Amino acid sequence: MTSLPEPSAIKLGLVIDLDICVGCQACVVNCKEWNTSGYGAPLSDENAYGANPNGAWLNRVHAFEAGEGETAKTIHFPKSCLHCEDAPCVTVCPTGASFKRAEDGIVLVNEDWCIGCGLCAWSCPYGAREMDPAEGVMKKCTLCVDRIYNENIPEEDQVPACVRTCPTNARHFGDLGDPNSEVSLMVAAREGFDLMPEQGTKPVNKYLPPRQRRQTEGAPMSLVAMADAETPKGFWKWVDSTLEKLG
């Protein structure tokens, strides 16, 4: 079995804002594209356009309905490897293929050593491991380790592919071991939380909860009534001011 290193001072990971994730799947697609041509063997697909498609994806976005009536809302929940401090997928690996880096806390898989036994997937409480159907080895999020340290690409690209491509800026990358880092301050300000903390895995990745939406009082909002009001507000105020500028 594989041993875990001592907890590193640097803990690289993701912070995901559930308030503004729109479930567009851009992070999923760009993750697939980058990791098919990057660190490890390509992420394969089988029967991709058939009745029973199968393939390996390192990042998935799930959608859930929460609340009832006027408070009902859809929550888009991205999920990938959480790079846990106490990673059971590492300690259960019989070959040492699954390991955690001492220098930055990233959990990786040495695909040359992986025998495809599936023990790491069985032990992961988050379902973050995926067996590649063509390669017969386990795949997982690498935090795009081949991007974040790559000085041959522009600085703005030295972040995970999912972070770089997110159109709503719902994904953030940084050192969660530094309490003064941008991501740590974001977690503190928004009461970020661990996924399934009862598992005791101490995930590095954090989630920012959805904010409470303002509830309208009295009669339902009417765009017609807003347009007919003597003193327009909100959207119609903007329309009026724009039309005035246009003459």
* Calpha distance 131→56 (Å, rounded): 7
The backbone torsions φ and ψ at residue 197, rounded to the nearest 5 degrees and listed phi first, read -65, -20
SS3 (DSSP) at 91 = helix
Note whether 60 and 25 are within 8 A (CB). no
pLDDT tens-digit profile of 171-210?
Answer: 999 999 999 999 999 999 999 999 999 999 999 999 999 9
pLDDT band for position 53 (cuts 50, 70, 90) = confident
Which residues make Cβ contacts (< 8 Å) with residue 22, sequence separation at least 6? Answer: 76, 167, 168, 170
Q: Are strands 107-109 and 171-175 parallel, antiparallel or unpaired?
A: unpaired
Read off the pLDDT of each residue in 212-234 and give the average, rounded to a whole number.
63
Candidate from 6-15, 120-129, 238-247 with smallest mean pLDDT: 238-247
Indicate where the chain has its CATH 3.30.70.20 domain(s).
12-208
Higher pLDDT among residues 133 and 204, named by residue: 204
Q: Looking at the predicted structure, is the pLDDT value of residue 100 above 80? A: yes
Residues above pLDDT 90, as percent of the chain: 69
Q: Average pLDDT over the chain, rounded to whole?
A: 90
Question: DSSP readout, 110-168?
Answer: -TTT-----HHHHH-TT---EE-TTT-SEE---TTHHHHT-TTS-GGG-S-HHHHH-TT
DSSP state of 1: -
Q: Looking at the predicted structure, is the pLDDT value of residue 112 above 70? A: yes
Class of the CATH-defined domain 12-208 = alpha beta
Q: Looking at the predicted structure, is the pLDDT value of residue 218 above 60? A: no
pLDDT tens-digit profile of 113-127?
Answer: 999 999 999 999 999
Q: Locate 117 and state its tokens.
A: 């036994």
pLDDT band for position 242 (cuts 50, 70, 90) = confident
Read off the pLDDT of each residue in 39-67 and give the average, rounded to a whole number.
87
How much is the pLDDT for 72? 84
How much is the pLDDT for 243? 79
Q: Looking at the predicted structure, is the pLDDT value of residue 62 above 90? A: yes
* Calpha distance 176→202 (Å, rounded): 12
